[in-house]
Amino acid sequence: DVKVTQSSRYLVKRTGEKVFLECVQDMDHENMFWYRQDPGLGLRLIYFSYDVKMKEKGDIPEGYSVSREKKERFSLILESASTNQTSMYLCASSLTGGVGNTIYFGEGSWLTVV
């Protein structure tokens, strides 16, 4: 089975802190994604990566950056956390070959910014 692992399930950070959310997948997938999930808004795409060192902005990239130095690892970075970034963050991965592929999600990281 595909496994997407998010290193932290629950985090509490202070406003202005730099926050790293780490994600690792074990199926040699080319594509990796970071989504944010908020009540009533569903999942919104922050960034995705289709290859090592390659990234594209999603629908809500402001306030976030990403890093993909190795194929299996995709990090989401909040340069200066703010309270409006309190949310659940979901990492996902999929094979290459286009957007029609199934994507596999991690268990999510709950971030609270105080």
Q: Interface residues with another protein (CB under 8 A)? A: 4, 31, 33, 35, 40-45, 48, 50, 56, 58-59, 90, 92, 98-100, 102-108, 110
Q: Given the complex with another protein, which of 50 and 72 has the nearer CB atom? A: 50
Contact in structure between 59 and 4 (CB atoms under 8 Å): no
CA neighbor of 50 nearest in space, from 100, 5, 7, 93: 93
Q: Given the complex with another protein, which of 28 and 59 has the nearer CB atom? A: 59
Query: C-beta of 1: minimal distance to another protein in Å?
Result: 11
Q: How deeply is 41 buried, as exposed, middle or buried, from its count of CB atoms within 10 A (0-12, 13-18, 19+)?
A: exposed
Query: C-beta of 41: minimal distance to another protein in Å?
Result: 6
